[in-house]
Chains A and B, each alone.
Chain A
Amino acid sequence: MTTTVRLQREPFDAAKEAAALARGRTDIGAVVTFTGICRADENGEPIAALNLEHYPDMAEAEIGRHVEAAFKRWPLLGVSVVHRYGRIAPGEGIVLVVTASSHRQAAFAAAEFLMDYLKTHAPFWKQVEKASGKTGEKIWVEAKASDDSAADRWAPAPTKRETAK
């Protein structure tokens, strides 16, 4: 199994990362690549850019813990996660998750699981740089309850005793 967790300021090349994960392997039958991209609007308002603050050492450790959990849960053959920080312009990638497995189900599920946990558990904070009104004004993006519930659905199923309560 191959694991890459990388934080960087520079843009990434999703196709290159996916190719690197599968290179020289003949056991991999499925590669899922997810790219989160900076939109030009936030809550209907145009934005100039996103600025991402992060907690450097913890971000790597936390992502690594979730990658480890994904390996325990699905028969994966490789995972790459690249998360950017700093200023990100609309149209640019923010985060990349690549999962590889023998069959598609594990690769799809693990990619979704990792993204749901990254959004709610990886220590990154987005700040919007406004493009209208007070141009250049910076506003912190608020966490969404829908992201919390997306992550919650991966929690282990309740035990019989808990269900009986």
Chain B
Amino acid sequence: MKVRYFAWVRERVGKAEEDLDPPAEIATVHDLVAWLARQGEGYAYAFENPGVVRSAIDKRHVRADARIAGAKEIAFFPPMTGG
């Protein structure tokens, strides 16, 4: 799956996007965040407060308990400040 990062999540992770193949036991967005946070210092910093980071699956907002099976694109970003 393609994983995309925006704003300060992107800056902390150090990249805008990547292709990832997480282990099969990673079932939800929450699981994925916990797994990502263990992938290095930048990831740990980006996800240090997982309650703050928002997520989207295939360009729709989802909650942390959303299942990731079948997702083509998952995005992580801070609370939005547009408008």
Contacts and interface: CB of A to CB of B under 8 A. Distances in A.
Interface size class of B (residues with CB under 8 A): 10 to 19
B77 A95 contact: no
Interface of B: 4, 6-8, 56, 59-61, 75, 77-83
B80 A125 contact: yes
A119 B81 CA distance: 6
Given A52-B82, A124-B80, A147-B83, 17 more contacts: A58-B59, A58-B60, A61-B59, A61-B60, A94-B82, A118-B83, A119-B82, A119-B83, A123-B6, A123-B56, A123-B75, A123-B77, A123-B80, A125-B7, A125-B78, A140-B8, A140-B78
A17 interface: no
Contacts of A119: 80-83
Interface size class of A (residues with CB under 8 A): 20 to 34
B78 A94 contact: no
B16 to A, nearest CB: 10
Interface of A: 36, 52-55, 57-59, 61-62, 83, 94-95, 115, 118-127, 140-143, 147
13 contacts: A52-B82, A53-B6, A58-B59, A59-B82, A62-B59, A94-B82, A95-B82, A118-B83, A119-B80, A122-B83, A123-B56, A126-B82, A142-B81
